[in-house]
Amino acid sequence: MKKELLRIKGLTIEFQGEISYPIIRNLDFSIWKGEKLSLVGESGCGKTITALSLMGLLPYAIKRKEGEILFHTAREVLPLHSFSPDSPEWLKVRGKEISMVFQEPSVSLNPTLTAGYQIAEPLIYRGCNRKDARDRALRIMEKVGLPHPADVYNRFPHELSGGMQQRVMLAMALILEPSLLIADEPTTALDVTIQAGILELIKELNEKMGMAFLLITHDLGVVNDVAEEMIVMYAGEILEQGKVKDLLKNPLQPYLKGLIASLPSLSGGKKKLESMQGSVPQPWERPVGCVFSPRCAYRMSICSRPPLWKEVENGHWVRCWLYE
Amino acid sequence: MSKQESVLEVENLRVYFPVYRGFLRKVSGYVQALEKVCFTMGKGEVLGIVGESGCGKSTLLKSISMLVPPTEGKIVFSCNGNFYVLNELTYHELVKLRPFIQIVFQDPFSSLNPRMRVWNLLAEPLQLHASLSRSKLRDRVEEILVSVGLDPSHVYRFPHQFSGGERQRIAIARALILRPSLLLLDEPTSALDVSLQAQVLTLLEKLKEEYKLTYILVSHNLGVVKYLSRRILIMYLGRIVESGESEDVFFSPRHPYTEALIQAIPRLDGEGRRRIILKGEVPNPISPPSGCVFHPRCIYKRGICEKKIPQLQDVSSLHRVACHRAEELKLAGLG
């Protein structure tokens, strides 16, 4: 029986300024214990904002308007949406229950602290003595595949390669053994051969530690490699959700169809690339009705009204008028 | 392949960057960015260059365009029936050849001057290299904008008013406005989203026919390279380790590095394949490993690999590889 870990209910996040506009609208999904979930979309779709809202790290002027984020710990249900960003209640969640790995490791590590100290810091902050913290940090460093942990512990981030820096980030995120890891484009800045190693590691951690992950990426190949479930986001809304295998074999929403068709295929002969016209709309010029309709090849007159969220096949949900 | 007119011949190209040390700035070593790179390109060909960061792909493009002068070797460029050795020309002779070799850079957010309007960006190369009347200039700019798929009425906009894909189109237009014969593309789509990447790739394909171009395409994305080019070079640590027709290289690679590279790509259709995870990192190009530079990470290495430098050798027609064990190894490709 699968247990719910995190539930997002009708989450709307908006930019509040002289003019306000929603960045994410009416988001609804759950993350289950030990799940391998992936959030896919192009840049500007609201993937990162979704992740930051789960960590209570939304940037200034971007605020939750409505909706709930509920996190189930072993004992209680925490309403993350009601915590203010600097409230001490976040201590129970950030790092301990949910932790995050960011896109660019060279930017997210503190250049003035040694790699090892940054990994051990969450423990020291929570009152663990330095020696024990160091021992635990060394153990986790070994687990994430950093060579010679004792040596790397005393090195500064600039002395490490990109792949090693990302492993340090992972060790940092994992040291408190969270039940959910959010990885925001963890391999985009890395080379393919290094990427393969990091993805393999995330998969392994999920299987061995039973840690659920939410992998944010724009690369459908990466999704196919590591995730089991996927959510497709476009312009702040979820357009399609289901098992990775079903979605990639049989995409329903024209957006996902277009994304797949616009990837240059590796095996097989040369086929013509079908490119979608236009680009992702800015949040302040969101189309009415279906958000994808201005770029959609199958547009009908009904598309000016918002389509419903519908389960077309078992576990395969889509938001599109074609399937009404 | 019939004997083609060659556009570019690169012979034994070496690019070394000195490393200075100490108060007196003594040269303490060299970064061996490119080591004995040789290849020829026929007219109308698309050559893909693949490798990870730090393998010298971009340095190769920069030295072909003479932005980084080679330390040793020859770059022979042919144009209108004449042959020019680019690295032996004087500055003024080189300037005359610049219109024929143009380059499109990786990131359209930083390669376009944010203070120049599209008109200035596109007209500038023409004003420098061709003396045209203002109306002719305007015709050329409009013509190029249309052929890269932009609206000519946007000519007075600034780069920041365009999206990433449109900006890359401007960069391509700027490179093409002088009607070059050789276009160097340095990761033209890596800063773009998937749907925009497809738009730019189809555009590049269209333009190649329209302007009879020859491309050198550098990318770390094998899918992009496979889509555009028929011949590819695989580079590792400044050396060519494998070269050949792209079908041959992808479906029957002969170098262990190529195999690892191909197996590492996350794919939509790849199930149950053997994944090779390379150990360690790309070595330091200041002191490359002895023998075959790939041997510290190679899973097939033998004693000879540490001692002897493998030379590029033909394994079949047009397919060349630098590996001691190329004959005996059975490596997995795509499919």
Question: Each residue of B25-49: pLDDT tens digit?
Answer: 888 889 999 999 999 999 999 999 9
Kindly list the residues from chain B whose CB atom is less than 8 angstroms away from the CB atom of residue A218: 193-194
Amino acid in position A320 = C
Q: How far does CA B18 lie from the centroid of its chain?
A: 23
Other Cβ atoms less than 10 A from the Cβ of A115: the count is 28
- pLDDT tens digit string along A27-48? 999 999 999 999 998 888 889 9
The answer to whether A224 contacts B163, with C-beta atoms less than 8 Å apart, is no
Residue with tokens 């050559």: B47
- The answer as to whether A321 is a domain residue is no
Residue A281 pLDDT exceeds 50 = yes
Total of domains in chain A:
1
The answer to whether A262 contacts B334, with C-beta atoms less than 8 Å apart, is no
Half-sphere exposure of A119 (CA within 13 A, CB side): 36
- Model confidence at B272, pLDDT cuts 50, 70, 90, reads low
The answer to whether A193 contacts B261, with C-beta atoms less than 8 Å apart, is yes
Residue B4's pLDDT is what? 62
Other Cβ atoms less than 10 A from the Cβ of A228: the count is 13
Half-sphere exposure of B248 (CA within 13 A, CB side): 19
Determine the residue of chain B that is closest to A187 in CA distance. B266
- pLDDT tens digit string along A129-188? 999 999 999 999 998 888 889 999 999 999 998 889 999 999 999 999 999 999 999 988
Residues 6+ positions from A110 with CB-CB distance below 8 Å: A118, A157
- The answer as to whether A150 is a domain residue is no
- The answer as to whether A148 is a domain residue is no
- Model confidence at B52, pLDDT cuts 50, 70, 90, reads confident
Kindly list the residues from chain A whose CB atom is less than 8 angstroms away from the CB atom of residue B199: 275-277
Give the nearest partner residue to B52 out of A193, A219, A277, using CB atoms. Answer: A193
Give me the torsion for CA of A68, A70, A76, A78, rounded to 10°. Answer: -60
Domain that includes residue A48, residue range: 4-106+179-234
- The answer as to whether A285 is a domain residue is no
Mean pLDDT, chain B, integer:
90
The answer to whether B53 contacts A224, with C-beta atoms less than 8 Å apart, is no
Task: Give me the residues paired with residue A217 across strands.
Answer: A40
- The answer as to whether A141 is a domain residue is no
Residue B2's pLDDT is what? 42
Structure tokens at A261: 């068709």
Residue A270 pLDDT exceeds 60 = yes
Determine the residue of chain B that is closest to A148 in CA distance. B280
Give the nearest partner residue to A264 out of B224, B264, B269, using CB atoms. Answer: B224
The answer to whether B163 contacts A221, with C-beta atoms less than 8 Å apart, is no
The answer to whether B268 contacts A224, with C-beta atoms less than 8 Å apart, is yes
Share of chain B above pLDDT 90, in %: 62
- Given CA atoms B125, B126, B128, B130 in this order, what sign does their dihedral have? positive
Residue B264's pLDDT is what? 86
Kindly list the residues from chain B whose CB atom is less than 8 angstroms away from the CB atom of residue A197: 277-278
Cβ–Cβ < 8 Å for A291, A281: yes
Share of chain A above pLDDT 90, in %: 64
Q: Return d(Cα A87, Cα A318) in angstroms, integer.
A: 37
Q: Return d(Cα A263, Cα B118) in angstroms, integer.
A: 30
Lowest-pLDDT range, A7-21, A275-289, B123-137, B228-242? A275-289
Give me the torsion for CA of B326, B280, A189, A162, rounded to 10°. Answer: -150
Residue A28's pLDDT is what? 93
* Predicted ipTM > 0.90: no
Determine the residue of chain B that is closest to A259 in CA distance. B195
Q: What is the DSSP string of B124-164?
A: HHHHHH----HHHHHHHHHHHHHHTT--GGGTT--GGGS-H
The answer to whether B193 contacts A279, with C-beta atoms less than 8 Å apart, is yes
Residues 6+ positions from B136 with CB-CB distance below 8 Å: none
Residue A191 pLDDT exceeds 60 = yes
The answer to whether A273 contacts B201, with C-beta atoms less than 8 Å apart, is yes
Q: Return d(Cα A244, Cα A254) in angstroms, integer.
A: 16
Kindly list the residues from chain A whose CB atom is less than 8 angstroms away from the CB atom of residue B193: 42-43, 218, 279-280
Determine the residue of chain A that is closest to B229 in CA distance. A270
Give the nearest partner residue to B266 out of A163, A219, A259, using CB atoms. Answer: A219
Give the nearest partner residue to B53 out of A191, A199, A258, using CB atoms. Answer: A191
Residues 6+ positions from A122 with CB-CB distance below 8 Å: A95, A172, A175, A176
User: What Å distances lie between residue B281 and B219, B236, B284, CA to CA?
Assistant: 19, 12, 9
Q: Return d(Cα B143, Cα B139) in angstroms, integer.
A: 6
- pLDDT tens digit string along B117-155? 999 999 999 999 888 899 999 999 999 999 999 999 999
Q: How far does CA B219 lie from the centroid of its chain?
A: 7
Question: How many CB pairs below 8 A link A and B?
Answer: 113
The answer to whether B278 contacts A191, with C-beta atoms less than 8 Å apart, is no
CATH number at residue A216: 3.40.50.300
- Average of pLDDT values for A106-111? 92
Q: What phi and psi values does residue B11 have, to the nearest 5 degrees?
A: -120, 125
Lowest-pLDDT range, A304-318, B93-107, B248-262, B263-277? B263-277
User: What Å distances lie between residue A109 and A156, A167, B126, CA to CA?
Assistant: 9, 11, 46
The shortest C-alpha distance from B254 to chain A (Å) reads 18
Residue B271's pLDDT is what? 59
- The answer as to whether A185 is a domain residue is yes
Residue with tokens 């060519």: B240
Q: What is the DSSP string of B253-269?
A: --SHHHHHHHHHS--SS
